[in-house]
């Protein structure tokens, strides 16, 4: 998994994630052009008296202007088009638990603002939240590795049927906050509910052919649905029941 998440998790009083910006510089050196090894004969301009007269009825031929070559097309990577509700409706989401997700205080946020999520499910399960930023990068924002280390529960991301608000009210020292970070643009948060214990998803990189966030979402759902969960009794891999839902939002 690579890329930056548009939602950054902060645990306690000190941010656990530090962003590093790499700065590249290009230096152009200008100087005198080198002289040719064997210069040709000097070109002189004839005086007006040496020029041959041009008949009045004869046009003066001038050399045609050199054609201007078109600039080569840009090879810079183009970010996926922004997601919209109509885009997301084209993705088939398996959702037997009828899980739903809302972003608080709303779906339009600004960089530096704090947000929370309200999840409703008609079935119990193990909740995972995935953020897809405006560039199509995938990041797991709940549960985080830091929260899993701090909690004393073996399955701290288990939720009962009903409504759950993330972040949890775990006390001052263990509180987790979600702070909006760049890039600006349209993004989405995906709620994943597993019937079997799952805490961390091995998120794939978006395929090169993904041209929109709906393509990234469809790829995420497909890859996650293919995961097999070890059976506690037999240690054999078995299929799992997954539920998915997504909520688009905009960072301004």
How much is the CA Rg of the chain, to the nearest whole Å? 30
d(CA 230, CA 240): 10
**pLDDT of 25:** 24
Q: What's the rounded Cα separation, in Å, for the pair 235 and 132? A: 33
Q: Is the entire prediction scored with pTM above 0.75?
A: no
- Parse the chain into domains and list their residue ranges: 79-228+236-251
Q: Counting every residue, how long is the chain? A: 252
Dist CA 225 CA 227 (whole Å):
6
User: What is the block-wise mean pLDDT of the chain (252 residues), using blocks of 10 residues?
Assistant: 49 32 27 43 47 48 51 53 60 96 96 96 97 92 85 84 85 68 94 95 80 89 90 83 96 94
What pLDDT is recorded for position 241?
95
Closest Cα partner for 80 from 192, 221, 217?
217
| Strand residues in 49-124 grouped as ranges (E) | 100-104, 108-109, 114-121
Largest Cα–Cα distance in the chain?
Answer: 109
Residue 166 neighbours by CB distance under 10 Å: 22
The CATH number given to 79-228+236-251 is 2.60.40.1930
What pLDDT was estimated at residue 9? 55
The DSSP secondary structure of 117-154, one letter per residue, reads EEEEESS-EEEEEEEE-TT--EEEEES-HHHHHH---T
The upper half-sphere exposure of residue 142, i.e. CA atoms within 13 Å in the direction of its Cβ, equals 26
């Amino acid at each position: 998994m690579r890329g930056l998440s548009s939602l950054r998790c902060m645990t306690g009083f000190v941010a656990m994630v530090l962003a590093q910006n790499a700065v590249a510089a290009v230096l152009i050196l200008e100087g005198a052009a080198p002289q040719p090894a064997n210069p040709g004969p000097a070109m002189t301009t004839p005086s007006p008296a040496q020029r041959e007269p041009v008949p009045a009825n004869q046009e003066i031929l001038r050399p045609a202007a050199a054609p201007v070559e078109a600039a080569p097309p840009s090879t810079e990577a183009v970010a996926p088009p922004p997601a919209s509700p109509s885009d997301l409706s084209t993705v088939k989401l398996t959702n037997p638990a009828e899980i739903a997700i809302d972003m608080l205080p709303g779906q339009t946020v600004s960089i530096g603002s704090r947000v929370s999520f309200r999840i409703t499910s008609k079935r119990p399960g193990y909740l995972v939240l995935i953020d897809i930023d405006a560039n199509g990068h995938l990041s797991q924002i709940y549960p985080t590795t830091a929260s899993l280390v701090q909690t004393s529960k073996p399955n701290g991301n288990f939720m009962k049927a009903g409504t759950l608000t993330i972040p949890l009210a775990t006390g001052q020292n263990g509180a987790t906050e979600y702070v909006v970070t760049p890039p600006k643009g349209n993004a989405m948060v995906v709620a994943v509910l597993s019937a079997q214990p799952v805490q961390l998803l091995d998120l794939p990189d978006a395929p090169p052919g993904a041209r929109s966030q709906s393509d990234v979402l469809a790829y995420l759902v497909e890859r996650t649905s293919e995961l097999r969960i070890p059976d506690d009794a037999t240690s054999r891999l078995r299929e799992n029941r997954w539920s998915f839902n997504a909520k688009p939002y905009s960072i301004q």
